[in-house]
Amino acid sequence: MSTEFTKEKTDWPSAQNTSQAGSMRGFLSLFLKRIGLRSQTLREVLEAGLKEQPKADTDFSIEEREMLRRLLRFGALRVEDIVVPRADIIAIEESEPLSELLRTFGESGVSRIPLYNETLDDPRGMIHIKDLFLWLMREATSQGEATSQGEEGPPDAKPSQSGAQHLDFGCRDLSRPITVARICRPVLYVPPSMPATNLLIRMQSTRIHMALVVDEYGGTDGLVTIEDLVEQIVGDIEDEHDETEAAYITVEPKLGLVASARTPVGELEQRLGLKLLKPEEEEDIETLGGLMFALLGRVPSRGELVRHPSGLELEVLEADARRLKKVKILQPKPRDEKSVAVSGSDQA
């Protein structure tokens, strides 16, 4: 039997309304400051100081300055800016056997896995790998003790002085459903518009380090862990089990230049030597997939060719109904090559 949790349905403000309100407040604040009716806040003073070129005798190292910048940016972030998309959530259905849970932990390398009933829109909680390990130890210990008690020995045999326990993992029935272990823990349910600082404080106070992001209808949009929040301040945290991620942009013999849909736009711009985003788009679009979605207004289908105003052509190599995965990049020809081709045709 698994623990069930009830999600409260609340009329949360939409992300669009929240963004518009924040933009209006920012405009009014800037206007008042320009006309001398408002002095700079401590945040503004710090942000301006960190943008200045560091001096030789500065009190902050380069690493400290970068962490301070991250901390100030973190104060303005919302859950929707950090969330792991629903399509990328590693989760398991509660009726799956325990063997499948062990396999999922082994392949994913994560320490917590959400548990759901039929779909992610009906979550039941999460399972921590420590709880699963302790449950297996208890099961193996109890089986080992039962086996040792059933063994015949000499009548004058004395208990083991070492106090060692008999562990028997081989007799455990891992084909049983996950619910028999009763190791499900609660998760937090938060809206996308929730400030990231509020979520971090809530995780600290409740000691629940995983949150599911739900929309106003109760559907699951994504997931956030405490590690995701902390990494926004200190940078990426990699442990012994984290594998080095493959390069976002690669050159394949038959396809040419190929990029993951998760490629940061800035990295792609640097590789191509092109400016792909307008200044007003830089805050809203971060990845190649987001850029293609913005150009079309929808998720492109496999084989579709998306043209950028710069002349860049993006061909979808891999995609499903929810997201892009792999994109072929066709670079625009340099102007000098085009002019040579035109002049050659004129001479002919």
Residue 318, amino acid: E
pLDDT, residue 250, reads 87
pLDDT, residue 171, reads 66
Residue 295, amino acid: L
pLDDT, residue 139, reads 83
3-state SS class at 249: strand
Residue 74, amino acid: F
pLDDT, residue 84, reads 87
pLDDT, residue 338, reads 45
Q: Which residues contact 179 (CB under 8 A, 6 or more apart)?
A: 1, 2, 94, 95
3-state SS class at 94: coil
Global pTM? 0.59
What are the chain's domains?
Answer: 1-39+75-129+173-243 (3.10.580.10), 249-330 (3.30.465.10)
- With 0-12 / 13-18 / 19 or more C-beta atoms within 10 angstroms meaning exposed / middle / buried, residue 262 is middle
3-state SS class at 252: strand
pLDDT, residue 159, reads 43
Cα 4 to chain centroid distance, Å, stands at: 25
Pick out the chain residues at pLDDT < 70.
1-40, 42, 44-45, 47-59, 142-171, 238-246, 320-322, 334-348
